[in-house]
Structure 1
Amino acid sequence: MITLAELTDLFFSLGPVTQSLFGGLFTYTLTALGASLVFFTREINYKLLDAMMGFAAGVMIAASFWSLLVPAIDMAAAQGIIEWLPAVIGFLSGGIFLRVCDAYLPHLHIGLPVEEAEGLPTSWRRATLLVLAITLHNIPEGLAIGVLFGAAASGIEAAGGATVMGAVTLAIGIGIQNFPEGTAVSMPLRREGLSVGKSFWYGQLSGIVEPISAVIGAAAVLMIQPILPYALAFAAGAMIYVVIEELIPESQIRGNTDIATLGTMLGFTIMMILDVALG
């Protein structure tokens, strides 16, 4: 029987693209597990859901800083670039990219009627629009995992602050916050009359983009190493855009402001502990 230590050594011996694939598959699995709750109940406790959405926001805020921006700044210094410049360019570019996607990709935020769908006008069903909303902010999460694994393998990790353990920590944090996202898609669809199977299918579908974008992120930075600090900051900017534009408003739309805020603080604290202790 293979021990946990042997599995760990095997994982660390893999190439960064393969590591990114496994990291993305891990976060996808957590999304699917969250969606699987629909097999056991069709009711949803919205206070708990809002707390979980707030928790997800806190995880993403902490991950954006400790796992992405700090290594981007350290890496720029190691490359002899003005330390803050790649972080500023990448961070703002990530936000602008998500804004453009937000403006054109049809999607619907959780808890809103289909008439309030954003993006280009479409006749797509509510389920499709909900999945696209979650998928939109799963893309930068997957990219962040891939870019960090790529950065760790770049050969300048000691000076740049990016390590394989830091990338693993990021994947763990994103996976934890993906659990409520799967639930947040599948449960409302079940309550609206979709079958259990279809509700689960749509819930897990939103996470499948993460292993794909993780592999793309790792491959891109390995081929063009000078973009590493920009890519790290880009992922951070995209994630912060998602937090402010989607997660925090959605966690408070039903009036559960206090519990959602406490959830955000708890998520931030746990991700900070993971990143400092393990990263």
Structure 2
Amino acid sequence: MNIDQLISMGPVALALCASLFTWFMTALGAALVFFFKDINQKILNGMLGFASGVMIAASFFSLLAPAIDLSVSLNMTPWFVVAVGFLAGAVFLWVSDHLIPHMHFQDSSNHVEGVPTKLKRSILLVFSITLHNIPEGLAVGVAFGLLAQEATVVELMAAFTVALGIGIQNFPEGAAVSIPLRKEGLSRMKAFLYGQASGLVEPVSAVLGALLVTVVRPILPYALAFAAGAMIYVVTEELIPESQSGGHEATHFSTMGCIVGFVIMMILDVALG
């Protein structure tokens, strides 16, 4: 299949295929539970830090920068568009964080956030990671939604870069879900199934994001900034705090993981996008 045939598939179909890849990478990472029962805290911190770095870089290079450029081309006020979209994305995740019941792996107090529930601890832990994956799926969807505005090879490569970057960080994230679940007492199979299930929200949110910006094209720059705001909220609210466990020495792995993740995503975006 050549580039023209790929573009002819349309933004929604491409977003679905790309997000299925990001889910597959989550499942691949979750499959590490069949080989490991425990995970070193330093390695876990590095994984979470790596995911943070990828998401921070993707938020600017793949989402905010294109939103600014697109706003200029559409004769919009760039600073207003990105500010409104970014804040809306952060508020959306803030509301979701307070409504969807979930629990954090590093919280030994068993504190449940969101609405009261009687769900099992293992399910609540999965919900915590599922929240992370909503903005990632949206990012993939709106990135492919750019093709509705300008269906070029450059835009296609930029969208694939977003999916590739998120897929790369989903691999360690999948392991960071399934292996701790195994430590919680779940069987290897259950830990794997729950771990990969946390990534199933990505194809759903990607398709919804692509559909929305395809049907209502003027909101595309807002949608790009929205996805960026949602991802930065996840990074600062969830990933970075959870990666700072295990003492000062262990946090170095989080910091270096974040830097490496940022650099890899930046190289992918600049070189390919």
What is the TM-score of this pair, normalised by structure 2?
0.95
Which residue does the alignment assign to 1:277?
A: 271
**Whole-angstrom distance in 2 between the partners of 1:180 and 1:10:** 32
Q: Could you report, residue by residue, the CA deviation over 1:163-191 in whole angstroms, capped at 9, with x for unpaired residues?
A: 11111000010011111221111111112
In the alignment, which of 97, 114, 117 is matched to residue 92 of structure 2? 97
Which residue does the alignment assign to 1:219?
A: 211
2:268 match: secondary structure: helix
Is there any run of 5+ residues in structure 2 with no aligned partner, and where?
Answer: none
**Whole-angstrom distance in 2 between the partners of 1:61 and 1:224:** 27
Q: Could you report, residue by residue, the CA deviation over 1:123-174 in whole angstroms, capped at 9, with x for unpaired residues?
A: 111111111111112011101111110112223x67xx97111110000100
Q: Could you say if the C-alpha distance between residues 11 and 45 of structure 1 is closer, same or farther in structure 2, counting changes exceeding 3 Å? A: farther
Q: Is the CA contact 1:27–1:175 (under 8 Å) kept in the aligned structure 2?
A: yes
Task: Trace 1:187-198 onto structure 2 (pairs within 5 A).
Answer: 187-198=179-190
Q: Could you say if the C-alpha distance between residues 129 and 162 of structure 1 is closer, same or farther in structure 2, counting changes exceeding 3 Å? A: farther
Q: Is the CA contact 1:148–1:162 (under 8 Å) kept in the aligned structure 2?
A: no
In the alignment, which of 234, 246, 255 is matched to residue 254 of structure 1? 246
Structure 1 segments (4+ residues) deviating >2 Å: 6-13
Superposed CA RMSD in Å reads 1.6
Task: Trace 1:153-168 onto structure 2 (pairs within 5 A).
Answer: 153-155=148-150, 163-168=155-160
1:43 match: secondary structure: coil
Which residue does the alignment assign to 2:39?
A: 44
**Whole-angstrom distance in 1 between the partners of 2:145 and 2:75:** 20
- Is 1:146 aligned with 2:138? no
**Whole-angstrom distance in 1 between the partners of 2:76 and 2:236:** 29
2:228 match: secondary structure: helix
2:214 match: secondary structure: helix
**Whole-angstrom distance in 1 between the partners of 2:33 and 2:183:** 10
Residues paired across the two proteins, number: 271
Task: Trace 1:240-251 onto structure 2 (pairs within 5 A).
Answer: 240-251=232-243
Please identify, of 44-53 and 218-227, the stretch whose mean Cα deviation from structure 2 is larger.
44-53
Task: Trace 1:24-173 onto structure 2 (pairs within 5 A).
Answer: 24-113=19-108, 115-155=110-150, 163-173=155-165
1:163 match: secondary structure: helix
Q: Is the CA contact 1:56–1:177 (under 8 Å) kept in the aligned structure 2?
A: yes
Please identify, of 119-128 and 83-92, the stretch whose mean Cα deviation from structure 2 is larger.
119-128
**Whole-angstrom distance in 2 between the partners of 1:228 and 1:111:** 36
**Whole-angstrom distance in 2 between the partners of 1:70 and 1:27:** 22
Which residue does the alignment assign to 1:267?
A: 261
**Which amino acid in structure 2 is aligned with residue 246 of structure 1?**
E
Structure 1 residue 52: Cα displacement: 1.1
**Whole-angstrom distance in 2 between the partners of 1:10 and 1:114:** 53
Structure 1 residue 192: Cα displacement: 2.0
Structure 1 residue 239: Cα displacement: 0.1
Q: Could you say if the C-alpha distance between residues 228 and 43 of structure 1 is closer, same or farther in structure 2, counting changes exceeding 3 Å? A: same
**Which amino acid in structure 1 is aligned with residue 260 of structure 2?**
L
**Which amino acid in structure 2 is aligned with residue 120 of structure 1?**
V
**Whole-angstrom distance in 2 between the partners of 1:223 and 1:162:** 22
Identity score, percent: 59
Task: Trace 1:203-242 onto structure 2 (pairs within 5 A).
Answer: 203-242=195-234
Q: Could you report, residue by residue, the CA deviation over 1:47-84 in whole angstroms, capped at 9, with x for unpaired residues?
A: 11110110000000000000000010111111111111
Is there any run of 5+ residues in structure 1 with no aligned partner, and where?
Answer: 1-5
**Whole-angstrom distance in 2 between the partners of 1:123 and 1:162:** 48
Q: Is the CA contact 2:47–2:176 (under 8 Å) kept in the aligned structure 1?
A: no
